[in-house]
């Protein structure tokens, strides 16, 4: 129970940071396409997975952002520099380069994940996130990959076309 409370506190802190980043992004880039989120879900092995990310498309078309993913089942942490964002409706594909990881040899690898924003408030379906695809192949947010999506158990994802 204590572990779950600590996760909730961490999630609340991440939410505040992401909200602040979102406010900065809106102020700095106007109505440009963006995505941000933070939250957690239970992995297939029963352990907790936490995530936070934020990305925006600038006026010149470049994408900037970062993602932090923690797979507690395996104890793996991934820090990603986001460089590609594709939004279609409430779905965003996000990709970038792994800048650091607790898994040796992953720095410099390409990574891709997908999120879906299912709305806010009571009666909305849970937002969703895919697992992280890591590869040395040429993939990015525009690569058509059939990702399996998982409901998040806490947190929020916002996709802004």
Domain boundaries defined on the chain: 2-160
Cα angle 72, 76, 80; round to 5: 120
Q: Which of 14-23, 68-77, 105-114 has the lowest mean pLDDT?
A: 14-23
The burial of 15, by beta-carbon neighbours within 10 Å (0-12 exposed, 13-18 middle, 19 or more buried), is given as middle
pLDDT of residue 22: 45
pLDDT of residue 73: 85
Alpha carbon 154 to its chain centroid, in Å, reads 13
Phi/psi for 110 (5° steps) reads -80, 150
pLDDT of residue 30: 65
CB 112 within 8 Å of CB 97: no
User: Residue 17 pLDDT more than 80?
Assistant: no
Rounded to an integer, the average pLDDT of 39-48 is: 91
Give percent above pLDDT 70 in the chain: 81
CA dist 55 and 136 (Å) reads 22
Rounded to an integer, the average pLDDT of 69-73 is: 92
User: Residue 41 pLDDT more than 70?
Assistant: yes
CA dist 129 and 152 (Å) reads 7
């Amino acid at each position: 129970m204590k572990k779950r409370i600590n996760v909730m506190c961490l999630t609340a802190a991440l939410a505040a940071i992401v909200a602040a980043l979102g406010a900065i992004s809106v102020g700095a880039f106007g109505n440009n396409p963006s995505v941000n989120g933070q939250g957690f879900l239970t992995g297939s092995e029963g352990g907790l997975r936490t995530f936070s990310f934020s990305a925006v498309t600038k006026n010149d078309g470049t994408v900037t952002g970062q993602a932090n993913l923690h797979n507690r089942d395996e104890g793996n942490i991934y820090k990603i520099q986001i460089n590609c964002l594709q939004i279609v409706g409430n779905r965003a594909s996000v990709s970038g380069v792994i800048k650091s990881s607790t898994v040796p040899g992953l720095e410099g690898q390409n990574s891709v994940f997908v999120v879906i924003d299912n709305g806010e408030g009571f009666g909305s379906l849970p937002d969703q996130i895919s697992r992280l695809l890591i590869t040395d192949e040429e993939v990015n947010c525009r690569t058509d990959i059939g990702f399996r999506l998982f409901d998040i158990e806490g947190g929020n994802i916002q996709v802004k076309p």
